[in-house]
Structure 1
Amino acid sequence: MPDMKQRALDYHALPTPGKLSVESSKPCATAADLALAYTPGVAEPVKAIYQDPAAAYRYTNKGNLVAVITDGTAVLGLGNVGALAGKPVMEGKAVLFKRFANIDVFDIEVTAPSIESFIETVVNIAPTFGGINLEDIAAPHCFRIERELRARLDIPVFHDDQHGTAAIIAGALLNALELQGKTLPTARIVFLGAGAAGMATARLLKAMGAQDIVLVDIAGVLHSGRDDISDYGRDLLRQTSARTLADVMPGADVFIGVSAANALPPDLLKLMAPSPVVFALANPDPEILPATAMAVRDDLIMATGRSDFPNQVNNALCFPYLFRGALDAKARQITTGMQVAAAHALAALAREEVPQAVLDAYAISELHFGRDYIIPKPFDPRLLEKVAGAVAEAARAEMAAAVA
């Protein structure tokens, strides 16, 4: 069998380069079809949309079309490889949108000389789309980009590396804490990694009731005396004398790693509270391998970002359904409330009986809520109804409350 490198290259190259194609959703086989698809018939929807821009959702694909946009500055674990090299990832994201939520995608790779020009590019192309998924954009400028686009556009703008990751972690953590006999408001939570994913997850957990969160980055604890933290992270600074990961791990209930391979020494794992939760989410190699962690602590519940270990925290569990719910509700933004709804829906689904279709997809005989199953599997067909439905319901409730 060819090695993974060659298999991956062949997969992307053969029989047709890339992973996407565009297909017509209407017939165009006769002169009559052509007259409707283009001139003169196309003038009628043009006039209708000119009179009422909302008609674009009826007469075009806008309402089911998302842009997956990158500048290539933080592609997977490969770093700043540039916009063009990020295209295979954006195409892959498009495949997941279509496969899991039947959402069409145009992938957009932008080489921009400045943050401002990137923002203007997205604003200028936004009328085409029903939503914007920002992808693989480095911190801290990803925070500014998302904030400004959310303020300027009337369609959902979502940075998956931040908020998709956050919702999945939150859903898995709710279940892990319950199994360990703990609660979110009382848990002591330590983050290793304070980039886009770490900060967004910490904020979402705080919104869901977490009271004791400390973040650690390469320079140490994010404490109130630090002057090297951007404005986008200052709300997460702690008043504390702790300065290192070793200072904050004793007695911690939860460790969430969104940092680098082998960044959690086993000796620090020993210092955690009884029945800890360890999410080692660095990819492809986690902060600590499950076998190493379990050799040190047999009372832990663990998750990683990898499919070859139990409890994979996979963004495909969230972003297709967040957008599906947002598009179905015609929401103008993906709010914190919608993310919370997704997290709770993911947690609830993992507690239900697993259908045979899921067992067949993973070639296993049984799967039950417990230490090795705290989050649904990506190929669970119930995700579309449960998660997208919960998101749409939350969006409609928020929109109704806003006009009441």
Structure 2
Amino acid sequence: MEGESKKTARSDLDEAALYFHKHPRPGKLEIQATKPLGNQRDLALAYSPGVAAPCLEIRDDPATAADYTARANLVGVVTNGSAVLGLGNIGPLASKPVMEGKAVLFKKFAGIDVFDIEIDAPGIERMVETISALEPTFGGINLEDIKAPECFEVEEQLKARMKIPVFHDDQHGTAIIVAAAVLNGLEFAGKTISDIKIVTSGAGAAALACLNLLVSLGAKVENIWVTDRFGVAYKGRTDEMDRWKDPYVKDTEARTLADVISGADVFLGLSAAGVLKPELLQHMAPKPLILALANPNPEIMPEIARAARPDAMICTGRSDFPNQVNNVLCFPYIFRGALDCGASAINEEMKMAAVRAIAALAREEPSDVAARAYSGETPIFGPEFLIPSPFDPRLILRIAPAVAKAACDTGVATRPITDFAAYIDKLNRFVFRSGLVMKPVFSSAKASSAKRVIYADGEDERVLRAAQVVLEEGIAEPILIGRPHVIEVRLKRYGLRIKPGVDFGLINPEDDPRYRHYVDLLIELAGRRGVTTEAARTMVRTDNTVIAALALKRGDADAMVCGLEGRFERHLRNVTLIIGPRAGIKDHDLSTLSMLISQR
């Protein structure tokens, strides 16, 4: 029965996927014009004769292609379909839905345009010739789903021939996320990367790229043991050996994973389901990091690993477990940074910058947008949260500038970014569409001498997160209205480090020394409008908007924010009752601002 249920669920998913790809129009991509084409003059500018002008400019100075064409924001996702994840060698045409999906991720997460290129080129030479000939079209090349060991050779030759970034995401995307998880896992375990023992199961493109990057970050080759389906990579072995595995070959009598797992601090699995047996975990070092990344079923299921080693930190490639190693955490943002500075390559320093940016972000408080991707309590840095959520909008704000700066520092940026503050502002406007409108508001707030802002809905998650941001950015001094014990519990739940009474002021509606003063003030202001003494006492105990307005009127705050819940009219009535409009402003002059923000 269970098998039938799984088969039915799989069939339902397949049917849904087929419908999704077919309707309302086939595929997942389209091309849209960025310039108007509404009249004869537009046509003359977009095409003949006007198009000759930018053509001649580019002929005389090829760098101006970034000014006059889409090339600087255009990536080619290229495959021959020889190693499509979970499907194997299905060929170029059958791999097209995967490449279209990759294109969608580039656009969604980083605003990068993509042409997916599926080529009938099974051999290395033909692949290299075909892809290198595309250099005038693209600002970068993302190689995808090309089998090992050909993928190593193809990327190596293309990097030598092309003056644009060439990045094999199956190798380096996985390696960057793995490296970030390793850095954070080691920090939590109190270990240093130069001292740890690493054991792998799997020696394909992704596994070797992971090891190479970890070595760049300080891991020692002598502490790394590689195993695959033929066992340990030992000196003298001939089965499936190549020059890319050679650095990790050991002169040893060990032949199996079980022979080398003892004392391992990190297990890196990029192989097959069930390879890592529970009993092997008993021989690993204290607080081991287990990266079981085989898909769809990992080398060991997390619940089995945790039962065998409760002190283990566990990462998988699956979205239904914590610590998902997902390449979308990095590849859109690495290309964003590389394209924006006109990088001629993605070098080791740029990859290491991405690793450190991702690792650091996991140690920050989760943003409200990222928090909504989880149910229940917001994860806090630790064994269950070593890498950020793929939906954290801060990824682009951390990774792209770090990558661009590394490109500038290492001399591969052809258009170096000179003002990183302005660049980050630009990225902020991509992530938060209201940024263009709100930036002058924030700037004015920072420049203001009166900065005490009281938040009526102080127990709300959005307010708690906002309070942390305004403190970090130096925008304001927050004062929250809410019950202290509720606020403290929620700060802990949401992983926020601010403390009431230390980082922000607090008004407790249930017990505050200013209560009598607020009641007296409310009676003074509204007694003639029918607010009795008893009603005033009730309002000051139960209506946070009233409390905030009274604090503002009394001079305990300089500005207020209210109305996250409830009807606008009620909040406005209470604010008007207590504070009233400024001289010369009539009630009907008060209004709100609503914004409809387009994609462009």
| Deviation (angstroms), 1:213 | 1.0
SS at match of 1:17: coil
Pick from 91, 96, 100 the counterpart of residue 87 of structure 1.
Answer: 96
The match for 2:170 is 161
| Deviation (angstroms), 1:233 | 2.3
Mapped to 1, the partners of 2:70 and 2:102 lie a distance apart of 19
More displaced 10-residue stretch of structure 1: 2-11 or 34-43: 2-11
Pick from 307, 314, 323 the counterpart of residue 302 of structure 1.
Answer: 314
Pick from 201, 206, 211 the counterpart of residue 210 of structure 2.
Answer: 201
How big is each residue's C-alpha offset from its partner over 1:175-222, in whole Å with a ceiling of 9 and x where there is no partner?
A: 111112212111111011100000011011011101111111111111
| Deviation (angstroms), 1:270 | 1.9
Q: Partner amino acid for 2:396?
A: L
More displaced 10-residue stretch of structure 1: 235-244 or 278-287: 235-244
Matched, 1:213 2:224: yes
Judged with a 3 Å threshold, the aligned counterparts in structure 2 of structure 1 residues 400 and 142 are, in CA distance, closer, same or farther, namely closer
Q: Partner amino acid for 1:385?
A: L
The match for 1:242 is 254
The normalised TM-score by structure 2 is 0.66
How big is each residue's C-alpha offset from its partner over 1:69-115, in whole Å with a ceiling of 9 and x where there is no partner?
A: 00001001111011111111111111111111111000000011522
Q: What stretches of structure 1 move > 3 A for 4+ residues in a row?
A: 361-365
The match for 1:358 is 370
The match for 1:135 is 144
The match for 1:255 is 267
The match for 2:77 is 68
Matched, 1:178 2:178: no
The match for 2:61 is 52
| Deviation (angstroms), 1:349 | 0.3
SS at match of 2:75: strand
Q: Partner amino acid for 2:87?
A: L
Q: Partner amino acid for 1:340?
A: M
Q: Partner amino acid for 1:312?
A: Q
Pick from 97, 107, 112 the counterpart of residue 98 of structure 1.
Answer: 107
The match for 1:231 is 243
Q: Partner amino acid for 1:146?
A: E
Q: Partner amino acid for 2:157?
A: E
The match for 1:20 is 29
How big is each residue's C-alpha offset from its partner over 1:35-83, in whole Å with a ceiling of 9 and x where there is no partner?
A: 1111111111111111111111110000000000000010011110111
The match for 1:320 is 332
The match for 2:303 is 291
Matched, 1:42 2:51: yes
How big is each residue's C-alpha offset from its partner over 1:106-159, in whole Å with a ceiling of 9 and x where there is no partner?
A: 000001152211111101122100000000000000000000000000000000
| Deviation (angstroms), 1:226 | 2.1
More displaced 10-residue stretch of structure 1: 46-55 or 357-366: 357-366
More displaced 10-residue stretch of structure 1: 363-372 or 36-45: 363-372
Q: Partner amino acid for 1:330?
A: G
How big is each residue's C-alpha offset from its partner over 1:222-247, in whole Å with a ceiling of 9 and x where there is no partner?
A: 12222341123212222333221011
| Deviation (angstroms), 1:378 | 0.5
Rg larger for: 2
Mapped to 2, the partners of 1:21 and 1:112 lie a distance apart of 25
The match for 2:436 is none
Mapped to 2, the partners of 1:357 and 1:401 lie a distance apart of 32
Contact (CA 8 Å) 1:199, 1:236: kept in 2 or not? no
Structure number with the bigger relative contact order (C-alpha 8 A, sep ≥ 6) is 1
Judged with a 3 Å threshold, the aligned counterparts in structure 2 of structure 1 residues 81 and 401 are, in CA distance, closer, same or farther, namely closer
Mapped to 1, the partners of 2:129 and 2:62 lie a distance apart of 21
- Segments of structure 2 that go 5 or more residues without pairing to the other structure are 1-8, 415-600
How big is each residue's C-alpha offset from its partner over 1:263-308, in whole Å with a ceiling of 9 and x where there is no partner?
A: 1111212211121110000111111101111111111000000000
Q: Partner amino acid for 1:88?
A: P
More displaced 10-residue stretch of structure 1: 99-108 or 263-272: 263-272
Mapped to 1, the partners of 2:166 and 2:121 lie a distance apart of 19
| Deviation (angstroms), 1:363 | 4.0
Contact (CA 8 Å) 2:262, 2:283: kept in 1 or not? yes
| Deviation (angstroms), 1:362 | 3.2
Mapped to 2, the partners of 1:251 and 1:21 lie a distance apart of 52
The match for 1:278 is 290
Contact (CA 8 Å) 2:343, 2:413: kept in 1 or not? no
Q: Supply the RMSD in Å over aligned alpha carbons.
A: 1.5
Mapped to 1, the partners of 2:386 and 2:335 lie a distance apart of 23
The normalised TM-score by structure 1 is 0.97
The match for 1:382 is 394
SS at match of 1:170: helix
Judged with a 3 Å threshold, the aligned counterparts in structure 2 of structure 1 residues 14 and 165 are, in CA distance, closer, same or farther, namely same
Mapped to 2, the partners of 1:361 and 1:25 lie a distance apart of 32
The match for 1:330 is 342
SS at match of 1:162: helix
Mapped to 2, the partners of 1:382 and 1:282 lie a distance apart of 28
Mapped to 1, the partners of 2:100 and 2:317 lie a distance apart of 20
Paired residues, number: 402
Matched, 1:370 2:382: yes
SS at match of 2:135: helix
More displaced 10-residue stretch of structure 1: 71-80 or 228-237: 228-237
Mapped to 2, the partners of 1:361 and 1:251 lie a distance apart of 36
Mapped to 1, the partners of 2:305 and 2:41 lie a distance apart of 67
Contact (CA 8 Å) 1:112, 1:118: kept in 2 or not? yes
Contact (CA 8 Å) 2:75, 2:113: kept in 1 or not? yes
Mapped to 2, the partners of 1:350 and 1:177 lie a distance apart of 13
Q: Partner amino acid for 1:158?
A: F
Mapped to 1, the partners of 2:94 and 2:403 lie a distance apart of 33
Q: Partner amino acid for 1:112?
A: A
SS at match of 1:342: helix
Mapped to 2, the partners of 1:357 and 1:300 lie a distance apart of 29
| Deviation (angstroms), 1:364 | 4.0
Contact (CA 8 Å) 2:188, 2:382: kept in 1 or not? yes
The match for 1:399 is 411
Mapped to 2, the partners of 1:54 and 1:169 lie a distance apart of 36
Q: Partner amino acid for 1:210?
A: A
Q: Partner amino acid for 2:118?
A: E
Contact (CA 8 Å) 1:184, 1:210: kept in 2 or not? yes
The match for 1:145 is 154
Contact (CA 8 Å) 1:155, 1:333: kept in 2 or not? yes
Judged with a 3 Å threshold, the aligned counterparts in structure 2 of structure 1 residues 400 and 3 are, in CA distance, closer, same or farther, namely closer
Mapped to 1, the partners of 2:174 and 2:47 lie a distance apart of 42
Pick from 332, 341, 345 the counterpart of residue 357 of structure 2.
Answer: 345
Judged with a 3 Å threshold, the aligned counterparts in structure 2 of structure 1 residues 400 and 327 are, in CA distance, closer, same or farther, namely closer
- Segments of structure 1 that go 5 or more residues without pairing to the other structure are none
The match for 1:123 is 132
Mapped to 2, the partners of 1:233 and 1:188 lie a distance apart of 17
Pick from 106, 123, 129 the counterpart of residue 114 of structure 1.
Answer: 123
